């Protein structure tokens, strides 16, 4: 027997299927639908609008455009709400809530009758959350992103969230700009709706999702407020009806080869380190493990070719003018798996051939004239565990460095002491922040961008080696070692570092070492005690989170949501 379609899918359990359908139709008719409309393929649309979320301000008009496309193709569009997450409006961090959004998306896609679903993501965690949920629900799905914001201008200088937020805040901390000017800047950093306009996590995830095949070609870089974005949404709606008819599921698109394409793009665009975590979580839903050693090998042979902040000069609207992801994929063509299916129903290589030809521009460089000869990310190993470094955003002179550890026990400790004149710190020290990982913080916030101690900032110090078990915003820059795994809160070696220890970073050799002997390390390990329980951890989502969150190398998904055991690896 064929799988039920449309309104007949996933009937509520009353023990009488005909009654369940009768009741469902009675209620949906109260929405004003005709019988003819209810016989059409149903295309769900996730409504991720929230008045807290400026990155998703345009979701209502995207929904209208997607609906238009669905109806032009003969389907019935039905929008439904999901959780919406904005980076600056999620306590304690949006990462803490990503899995909750993924569960919401998965269960609502599964629970409600829809033959396909169009997922509207944008702000950092929303894209991975929706794709994780869709991967597990395995209903035909495609992604539309809200798109990047436009750039603004401050006293003649072009600016955009949020690399420039951090740059100007650094200048303010160093006393180079005053209170009045920083207020003036805050009104100009986010001049339009849309996601951060640099190569932050939102842009990284959008470009990777397109390379992964979960978005129609050409959709990642169109600015949020351009008319082209609405035309893309309309096309997505129309295509979703075809996707439903073909029954093309996320599991058929998100294959190990397709994830390898996404990771290749992550490296070539100088993308956010968060991309690794989110891809690990998405792949984990399908029983695919991200092989970090293989990713590091891939990084060594994949140059950074996109000249966007924070690694380079430009903004996402410039990448759109340069042709979006297409010129990047064309440069990478010999390194990609072109046979991967995409939501268009075609192969990646075929999709690429349908896009307009490239033109002369200087945002996407040729492979033989890259911005950085190696990929933006490096996977480090040593007695401190495994970690990630975004070397394209680091200071070249610090990529090989040995210094004295200055340890911060927690985020609170960091906040209390970093600006103290009494802090014993020198420019060549290594700042260490611990208990800021998935369980330690909790939620692995983007606090790995440890501020330069104020007394050093005032002396003109702009970068230091910084190490933590936290994450970092894709908009940030500096010689920052992140995602140390296992994290300190579960007894990883980061918990054992003491003030004054020597730490050596050697990015070329992929080494991160605490320079103490094994005996001393073992002695400290035996004496280690777990940090006290988080307040409120005896109940609710926090309890669920702390009991089930996986480490960074497994994408910080919940152990009961990832498919185990993994059956294959990527890249």
Kindly state the smallest distance separating residue 202's Cβ from ligand FES, in Å. 4
CA–CA separation, 488 and 186 (whole Å)? 35
**Nearer of residues 195 and 302 to ligand FES, judged by Cβ:** 195
d(C-alpha 142, C-alpha 144), whole Å:
7
CA atoms of 393 and 466, how far apart (whole Å): 13
Choose the stretch contacting ligand FES; rule: CB under 6 A; options: 194-202, 283-291, 297-305, 378-386: 194-202
Q: Are 445 and 97 in contact (CB under 8 A)?
A: no
Per-residue contact track with ligand FES, 145 to 184, x per CB under 6 A?
Answer: -----------------x----------------------
DSSP string, 96-139: HHHHHHHHHHHHHHHHS--SEEEEEE-STTHHHHHHHHHHHH--
How many Å apart are CA 559 and CA 556, to the nearest integer? Answer: 9
Q: How far is the CB of 408 from ligand FES (least distance, A)?
A: 25
Contact 514, 493 (CB under 8 A): yes
200 contacts ligand FES (rule: CB under 6 A): yes
Q: Which part of the chain contacts ligand FES (CB under 6 A), choosing from 196-204, 217-225, 243-251, 294-302?
A: 196-204
Nearest CB to ligand FES, comparing residues 202 and 495: 202
Name which of 221 and 494 has its Cβ closer to ligand FES: 221
Q: In whole angstroms, what is the distance from residue 202 CA to residue 231 CA?
A: 21
Show Cβ contacts of residue 372 under 8 Å, excluding neighbours closer than 6 positions: 270, 303, 304, 311, 391, 392
Provide the minimum distance between the beta carbon of 198 and ligand FES in the complex, in angstroms, as a whole number.
Answer: 9
Q: Do 336 and 329 form a contact (C-beta atoms < 8 A)?
A: yes
Q: Which of residues 119-148 bind ligand FES (CB under 6 A)?
A: 123-124
160 contacts: CB under 8 Å, gap ≥ 6? 149, 150, 151, 152, 189, 190, 191, 196, 197, 198, 309, 315
By beta-carbon proximity to ligand FES, the closer residue of 132 and 495 is 132
Q: Which is nearer to ligand FES, 298 or 319 (CB)?
A: 319
Interface of this chain with ligand FES, residues 72 to 101, rule: CB under 6 A: 86-87
CB of 446 to ligand FES, least distance (A): 10
Identify which of 227, 335, 214 has the alpha carbon closest to the alpha carbon of residue 278.
214
CB nearer to ligand FES: give 87 or 210. 87
Which residues face 514 on adjacent strands? 503
Output the CA torsion sign for 298, 299, 303, 305: positive
Nearest-approach distance from CB 56 to ligand FES, in angstroms: 8
Closer of 82 and 493 to ligand FES (Cβ): 82
In angstroms, rounded to a whole number, what is the distance separating the alpha carbons of residues 429 and 496? 17
Of 55 and 476, which CB lies nearer to ligand FES in the complex structure?
55
Which listed range, 167-175, 195-203, 402-410, 515-523, lies at the site for ligand FES (CB under 6 A)? 195-203
Say how far apart CA 193 and CA 55 lie, in whole Å: 6
Shortest distance (Å) from residue 57 CB to ligand FES: 11
Interface with ligand FES (CB under 6 A), residue total 10
Tell whether residue 446 is a contact of ligand FES (CB under 6 A).
no
The verdict on 202 binding ligand FES (CB under 6 A) reads: yes
CB nearer to ligand FES: pick between 196 and 507? 196
Question: Closest separation between CB of residue 162 and ligand FES, Å?
Answer: 6
- Under the rule (CB under 6 A), what is the footprint of ligand FES? 55, 86-87, 123-124, 162, 195-196, 200, 202
């Amino acid at each position: 027997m064929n799988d039920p379609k449309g309104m007949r899918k996933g009937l509520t359990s009353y023990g009488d299927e005909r009654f369940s359908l009768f009741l469902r139709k009675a209620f949906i008719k109260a929405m004003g639908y005709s019988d003819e409309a209810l016989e059409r393929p149903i295309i769900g649309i996730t409504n991720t609008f929230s008045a807290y979320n400026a990155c998703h301000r345009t979701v209502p008009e995207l929904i209208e455009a997607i609906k238009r496309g669905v109806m032009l193709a003969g389907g019935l569009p039905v929008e439904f709400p999901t959780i919406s997450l904005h980076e600056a409006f999620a306590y304690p961090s949006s990462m803490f809530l990503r899995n909750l959004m993924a569960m919401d998306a998965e269960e609502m896609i599964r629970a409600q009758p829809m033959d396909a679903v169009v997922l509207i993501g944008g702000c950092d965690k929303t894209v991975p959350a929706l794709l994780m949920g869709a991967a597990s629900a395995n209903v035909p799905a495609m992604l539309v992103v809200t798109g990047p914001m436009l750039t603004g201008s401050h006293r003649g200088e072009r600016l955009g969230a949020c690399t420039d937020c951090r740059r100007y805040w650094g200048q303010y901390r160093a006393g180079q700009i005053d209170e009045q000017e920083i207020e003036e800047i805050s009104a100009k950093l986010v001049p339009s709706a849309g996601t951060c306009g640099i190569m932050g996590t939102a842009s990284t995830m959008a470009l990777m999702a397109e390379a992964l095949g979960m978005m129609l070609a050409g959709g990642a870089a169109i600015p949020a407020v351009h008319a082209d974005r609405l035309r893309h949404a309309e096309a997505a709606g129309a295509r979703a009806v075809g996707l439903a008819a073909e029954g093309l599921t996320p599991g058929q698109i998100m294959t190990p080869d397709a994830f390898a394409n996404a990771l290749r793009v992550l490296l070539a665009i100088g993308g956010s380190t968060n991309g690794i975590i989110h891809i690990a979580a998405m792949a984990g839903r399908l029983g695919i493990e991200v092989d970090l050693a293989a990713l590091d090998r891939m990084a060594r042979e994949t140059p950074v070719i996109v000249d966007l902040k924070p690694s380079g000069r430009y903004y996402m609207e410039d990448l759109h003018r340069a042709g979006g992801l297409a010129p990047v994929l064309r440069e990478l063509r010999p390194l990609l798996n072109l046979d991967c299916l995409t939501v268009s129903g075609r192969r990646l290589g075929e999709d690429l051939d349908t896009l307009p030809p490239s033109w002369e521009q200087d945002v996407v460089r040729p492979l033989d004239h890259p911005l950085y000869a190696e990929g933006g990310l490096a996977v480090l190993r040593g007695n401190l565990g495994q970690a990630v470094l975004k070397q394209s955003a680091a200071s070249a002179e610090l990529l090989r460095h040995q210094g004295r550890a200055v340890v911060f026990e927690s985020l609170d400790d960091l906040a209390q002491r970093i600006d103290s004149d009494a802090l014993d710190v020198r420019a060549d020290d290594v700042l260490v922040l611990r208990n800021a990982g998935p369980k330690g913080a909790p939620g692995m916030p983007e606090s790995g961008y440890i501020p330069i101690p104020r007394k050093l900032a005032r002396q003109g110090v702009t970068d230091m080696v910084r190490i933590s078990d936290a994450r970092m915003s894709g908009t940030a820059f500096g010689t920052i070692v992140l995602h140390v795994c296992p994290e300190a809160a579960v007894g990883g070696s980061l918990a054992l570092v003491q003030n004054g220890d020597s730490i050596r970073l050697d990015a070329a050799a992929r080494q991160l070492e605490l320079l103490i002997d094994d005996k001393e390390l073992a002695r400290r390990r035996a004496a280690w005690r777990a940090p006290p329980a988080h307040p409120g951890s005896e109940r609710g989502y926090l309890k669920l989170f702390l009991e089930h969150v996986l480490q960074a190398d497994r994408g910080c998904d919940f152990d009961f949501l990832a498919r185990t055991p993994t059956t294959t690896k990527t890249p």
